[in-house]
Chain A
Amino acid sequence: MKDTDIKRLLYTHLLCIFSIILSIFIPSLFLENFSVLETHLTWLCICSVFVTAINLILYLVVKPNTPSKRSSLSYKVTRFLKCCIYFLLSCFFFHIIFVLYGAPLIELVLETFSFAVILSTFTTVPCLCLLGPNIKAWLRVFSRNGVTSIWENSLQITTISSFLGTWFGAFPIPLDWERPWQVWPISCTLGATLGYVAGLIISPLWIYWNRKQLTYKNN
């Protein structure tokens, strides 16, 4: 039971990584002059769409959490709309935090916002897929000893590693190397992506190594 779960987790994560890699290579077939650094905003949008899509598909196919009892259509629709609103709210929230961290307030608004969108994609979308629009569940998962399944555990790890990647991604900005990727917000988005990918790889491995110690109360 547990090993198969971990295997499923690994496969879904590999699919996510694959979608990110696809988002780098596929657009260059259709778009001219596409490159991750030069047409960064386009890449951000495509990457965000790809990752969201794969997350949704995986959620519908794998169904990691138990289906809720109420399954009327209206309930599903309101739930979906709620999720959309939460996603938008998280984008604005991240945008505000970036500005508080020192991103320019008036210039480069589009860049900052697309950065907020991609970070929400890496963090909020999996949360919404797995936990639904339920803030209390989120608080539970992101506090110490609050996880109840390996899915939640991996969610915790990928989200935290995305944030850490973003945080470390800001480091090269003040250096005077004058590289194209030091421009705001490219280094941060790259950091977030790398952090997300690293989280995707690390979490199944970490859960596998620690499978003896991890005991979830509800299973």
Chain B
Amino acid sequence: MRLGSGSFAACCVVVEVLGLAVFLRGFFPAPVRSTSSSEHRAEAPVPEPAAGASSNWTKLPPPLFSKVVIVLIDALRDDFVFGSKGVKFMPYTSYLVEKGAAHSFVAEAKPPTVTMPRIKALMTGSLPGFVDVVRNLNSPALLEDSVLRQAKAAGKRIIFYGDETWVKLFPKHFVEYDGTTSFFVSDYTEVDNNVTRHLDKVLKRGDWDVLILHYLGLDHIGHVFGPSSPLIGHKLSEMDGILTRIHTSLLSEERKALSPSLLVLCGDHGMSETGSHGASSLEEVNTPLILISSSFERKPEPGFEQFKVSERLHRNWIKLYLEENSSAALLNLGVKLRRQYLDAIRTLSLSLSRQVAQYDIYSMVVGTVVVLEVLALLLLSIPQALSNKAELEVPLLSPMFSLLFYLMFLVLSAIHVIVCTSTESSCYFCSLSWLTAAGVMVLISALLCAVVSALSEMFVDGKLQRKNTGPSNSRWSELDLLILLGTMGHVLSLGASSFIEEEHQTWYFLTSTLCLALCHEIYRNCFLGNCCEPGLGGAVVALQDEDAGKVHKSHTPLDSLRGSEKWMALASPWVILTCCRLLRSLNQTGVQWAHRPDLGHWLTSSDHKAALSALSAFCLVVTFVLLQRRCSRTSRVAMALGLLGVYCYRAATGSLLLPWQRDKAASKGIVEARFVYIFILGILFTGARDLLKSQVAAANPKCKAVGLWEMYSGLALLAALLLRPHNLPVLVLSLLIQTLMTSFIWKPLGHDAAEVTVMHYWFGQAFFYFQGNSNSISTVDVSVGFVGLDSYMEIPAVLLTAFATYAGPVLWAIHLVNFLSSETCRGPAMSHACFCYALVCSFPVSVYIILVTSLRYHLFIWSVFSPKLLYEGMHLLITAAVCLFFTAMDQTGTRSRISS
């Protein structure tokens, strides 16, 4: 079967996505379940008996507290209570912590610091599983043993108000509950009022034992405005007031009932400097835990005296040794002890990580094999796919009937049966239906046969070619070398955790180097013709005679640019470098330098609202100027109105200023956002119509270019709507750089499709990080999913979030399609580009899978490597979509070429 290399690449990426999905399912282990439940209750750990008291193993201990109130404030960071903010905004709580009857701690939340896994961890006492992050959106009921389950079994009446997640996790545990949905991030007053409105009634009633309140407002403020917003202070004061109310009511109750009650204040996770959470930075991990009860009144403790006595004894003992000049012996003892401790700790941590991380190795292997086979197929078909025909023979039928195929299939099925019957642990791949499993087996063996046949073909071809032509004399240019080495270097750097944390640095470094290399190429092309003055001697001229033809050929296009344009061409690499440097200081990401001040923080702080408004308005205007050039008139008008709507939307949400609306309460801006959505859909629809028209009529190729450009500008408008206002410069500068590159670098210098594709990929990656993304989960901006939506709707929210996160790579990829389709003379450029894009995206993923598998007991596997794996998976999915789009465009292109 003959396939164009574009569609071949698209198929490959789709298969690779399947393989990666199987791998991911095996890699993220199902969390370890503790199965002890009510029948083991007798063995439940009891509080340690006080010294001298009789053992109480046989009977249940009497309850220490009559009532428990748990106040869980989402994203309550430790310095919100114990730091300067706590003193300022939470005076009552600080007073309790300082002098009152309370114990206070800084609790450390284990990553992933996302609400649902943290609730599970708090209630069950187990470590959260990483796959819970994914399930955070859709929480099934918790089956494990938990505090609530035990409380319910003991007949306690539990009341819950707050985040709906609890109700889903613990169905039928609460005698009364009112869940509020946690997904509408931009609302931060209503969610908390919904909790507080029940408080007075419940506190008066007193027919309950446990009251749980989960406040979400603080987290929402953090997500939208960041931890330095003044709103945080208001919210903390509100929370302090609530705590005061609960505590006074509990105290008055105590006076009646004569048994103490307990008030617990805690946070499920902290809040990073950007206001998000999910990763393992210190700000996200540290949360306060305060236990308040009248039974904790300070009194001199007998233990302290004991401690003093033992300390004195100990000191005497040491003095004894030191006086006898045997300090060396003591030191040796210490060193030995230390080594033993370290050994023990290392063994413990290893065995613990092995026990906690149970990988489903079989599924992982299956996924890896599929991905690697696809990669091998892609690599082997490079020479054919990048040839002028851009077509390749995919041997599908012959391997289907070959002996190797059937043998492989039989062997794999045998292995499958053996593995699935022998393992006692659950295995995802075995739990699939046998038909699906057989399908995957067929896929694996077919791919293997294809790889083998491609390999043998290449071997034969290579032999023939070597006989015929001898060594090829096409030399690699410096740019090709840079592109190849840069791609390889980036892939290799993924093996080090710091390079993953700071991956943006790799991309910035590579793009800067790329700009310099392009600069070198331009200057050489521009000046070398002029420099051969006779004064330097004929030697140079003679030397260049061999190259003269080549030089002059690549020289003419630059000459075709007129005076000012030539200067622009010479200046453009420096302009691009400056733009990249500006964007780099817009958002500090990563781990090591994330705390550095950056322009983004400066702009979003409430003092500089006017500057942010002016900047956004300017950016929107420039966006319009850059986008309208190649649009049709209707979409030009739609574009202008849409960009106006974007500004109005941001002004309505309160992040930008409108000169005529000074102080208006912030709304959700739903009307404005929907207004913009209408225009986006309109522009996309016009673009699609133009594309279809060009496919049917094939009359004018201009129609197709306009259609593609309209699709592109529609997506750019969507990005303008979704990106935060301080990120609008990212969009504008990406458009600017694309324009500069197109008109002054790629077209005059005549780079081939493969080079242009890789450059687009590099810039796309760099822009992914310019937006402020990083390789930790916490930088995903979830508030994007609610732009213009009333309530949480899963599919649009997920799609919007994915697009906003990957706006940079997607826009660059679409621009690549635009650029290549405008060069109609080059026939197979589009399919070359598609193939290169698929290859260059799937190469890092495939290598990364192997790296992660081999590093699966690494210390940072959950905090660094797994989030990156999720990002890579998502990126591959996006790549598959982009490749399909490429192929579709290519199909229309070839059809119109053929028919014309």
- Tell me the total A-B contact number using a CB cutoff of 8 A: 65
B547 touches A (CB below 8 Å): yes
A69–B590 alpha-carbon span in the complex (Å): 59
A102–B512 alpha-carbon span in the complex (Å): 9
Closest A residue to B580 using CB positions: A100
Interface residue stretch chosen among B182-190, B262-270, B498-506, B782-790: B498-506
B625 touches A (CB below 8 Å): no
A144–B525 alpha-carbon span in the complex (Å): 12
The 5 closest A-B pairs by CB, nearest first: A174-B502, A217-B539, A100-B577, A176-B498, A136-B531
B528 touches A (CB below 8 Å): yes
A29 touches B (CB below 8 Å): no
| B135, chain A: closest CB distance, angstroms | 31
B581 touching A99, Cβ below 8 Å: yes
| A173 partner residues in chain B, CB cutoff 8 A | 505
Q: Given A139-B528, A174-B592, A175-B496, does the pair A148, B539 have CB atoms closer than 8 Å?
A: yes
What are 25 A-B pairs at a CB distance below 8 A? Answer: A97-B516, A99-B581, A100-B578, A101-B509, A102-B508, A102-B584, A105-B585, A139-B523, A139-B531, A140-B536, A144-B547, A145-B546, A145-B547, A146-B544, A148-B539, A170-B509, A173-B505, A174-B501, A174-B502, A175-B496, A175-B498, A176-B498, A176-B592, A217-B542, A218-B539
B537 touching A100, Cβ below 8 Å: no
| A137 partner residues in chain B, CB cutoff 8 A | 536
B524 touches A (CB below 8 Å): yes
B543 touches A (CB below 8 Å): yes
A174–B584 alpha-carbon span in the complex (Å): 15
| A174 partner residues in chain B, CB cutoff 8 A | 498-499, 501-502, 505-506, 590, 592
B147 touches A (CB below 8 Å): no
A11 touches B (CB below 8 Å): no
Closest B residue to A103 using CB positions: B581
B401 touches A (CB below 8 Å): no
A100 touching B512, Cβ below 8 Å: yes
A167 touches B (CB below 8 Å): yes
B307 touches A (CB below 8 Å): no
| A145 partner residues in chain B, CB cutoff 8 A | 543-544, 546-547
| B516, chain A: closest CB distance, angstroms | 8
B509 touching A136, Cβ below 8 Å: no
From residue 520 to 563 of chain B, which have CB atoms closer than 8 A to chain A?
523-524, 527-528, 531, 533, 536-537, 539-540, 542-544, 546-547
From residue 589 to 614 of chain B, which have CB atoms closer than 8 A to chain A?
590, 592
Closest B residue to A138 using CB positions: B531
B505 touching A136, Cβ below 8 Å: no
A143 touches B (CB below 8 Å): yes
Q: Mark B81-95, 1 if CB is under 8 A from A, else 0.
A: 000000000000000
Closest B residue to A178 using CB positions: B592
B896 touches A (CB below 8 Å): no
B513 touches A (CB below 8 Å): yes
Chain A: number of interface residues, binned into ranges: 20 to 34
Closest B residue to A144 using CB positions: B547
| B578 partner residues in chain A, CB cutoff 8 A | 100
| A167 partner residues in chain B, CB cutoff 8 A | 513
A174–B594 alpha-carbon span in the complex (Å): 12
From residue 165 to 206 of chain A, which have CB atoms closer than 8 A to chain B?
167, 170, 173-176
| B580 partner residues in chain A, CB cutoff 8 A | 100
Closest A residue to B515 using CB positions: A100
Interface, chain A (partner B; CB < 8 A): 97, 99-102, 105, 136-137, 139-140, 143-146, 148, 167, 170, 173-176, 216-218
| B501 partner residues in chain A, CB cutoff 8 A | 174, 176
A167–B513 alpha-carbon span in the complex (Å): 9
Closest B residue to A97 using CB positions: B516
A115–B442 alpha-carbon span in the complex (Å): 60
Which of A100, A140, A218 is the one whose CB lies under 8 Å from B581?
A100
A57–B496 alpha-carbon span in the complex (Å): 46
Q: Is the interface of B mostly helix, strand, loop or mixed?
A: helix
Closest A residue to B530 using CB positions: A136
| B540 partner residues in chain A, CB cutoff 8 A | 140, 146, 148
A217 touching B543, Cβ below 8 Å: yes
| A100 partner residues in chain B, CB cutoff 8 A | 512, 577-578, 580-581
Closest A residue to B478 using CB positions: A144
| A97 partner residues in chain B, CB cutoff 8 A | 516
Closest A residue to B544 using CB positions: A145
A122–B501 alpha-carbon span in the complex (Å): 33
| B498 partner residues in chain A, CB cutoff 8 A | 174-176
| A136 partner residues in chain B, CB cutoff 8 A | 531, 533, 536
| B505 partner residues in chain A, CB cutoff 8 A | 102, 173-174
B536 touching A102, Cβ below 8 Å: no
B524 touching A143, Cβ below 8 Å: yes
A176–B591 alpha-carbon span in the complex (Å): 10
| A139 partner residues in chain B, CB cutoff 8 A | 523-524, 527-528, 531
A217–B542 alpha-carbon span in the complex (Å): 8
| B766, chain A: closest CB distance, angstroms | 12
A103–B497 alpha-carbon span in the complex (Å): 23
- Starting from the known contacts A140-B536, A145-B543, A175-B496, 15 additional A-B residue pairs (CB-CB under 8 Å) come to A100-B578, A100-B580, A101-B512, A105-B585, A137-B536, A139-B523, A139-B528, A143-B528, A146-B540, A146-B543, A148-B539, A170-B509, A174-B590, A176-B498, A217-B543
A91–B528 alpha-carbon span in the complex (Å): 24
A140–B498 alpha-carbon span in the complex (Å): 41
| A216 partner residues in chain B, CB cutoff 8 A | 539
B499 touching A175, Cβ below 8 Å: yes
A187–B581 alpha-carbon span in the complex (Å): 21
| B496 partner residues in chain A, CB cutoff 8 A | 175
A101–B716 alpha-carbon span in the complex (Å): 27
| B775, chain A: closest CB distance, angstroms | 12
A97–B581 alpha-carbon span in the complex (Å): 10
| A105 partner residues in chain B, CB cutoff 8 A | 585
| A144 partner residues in chain B, CB cutoff 8 A | 547
A136–B533 alpha-carbon span in the complex (Å): 9
Q: Mark B479-503, 1 if CB is under 8 A from A, else 0.
A: 0000000000000000011110110
Closest A residue to B504 using CB positions: A174
A45–B506 alpha-carbon span in the complex (Å): 30
Most buried by A among B512, B539, B546: B539
| A98, chain B: closest CB distance, angstroms | 10
Closest A residue to B538 using CB positions: A217
| B499 partner residues in chain A, CB cutoff 8 A | 174-175
| B539 partner residues in chain A, CB cutoff 8 A | 148, 216-218
A105–B543 alpha-carbon span in the complex (Å): 43
| B533 partner residues in chain A, CB cutoff 8 A | 136
| A173, chain B: closest CB distance, angstroms | 8
| B584 partner residues in chain A, CB cutoff 8 A | 102
| B523 partner residues in chain A, CB cutoff 8 A | 139
A102–B577 alpha-carbon span in the complex (Å): 10
A102 touching B509, Cβ below 8 Å: yes
| A115, chain B: closest CB distance, angstroms | 16
| B200, chain A: closest CB distance, angstroms | 52
A32–B531 alpha-carbon span in the complex (Å): 51
Closest A residue to B547 using CB positions: A145
A146–B524 alpha-carbon span in the complex (Å): 12
A105–B581 alpha-carbon span in the complex (Å): 10
A173–B516 alpha-carbon span in the complex (Å): 21
A140–B505 alpha-carbon span in the complex (Å): 34
A146–B551 alpha-carbon span in the complex (Å): 13
Most buried by B among A140, A170, A175: A140
Closest A residue to B585 using CB positions: A105
| A132, chain B: closest CB distance, angstroms | 12
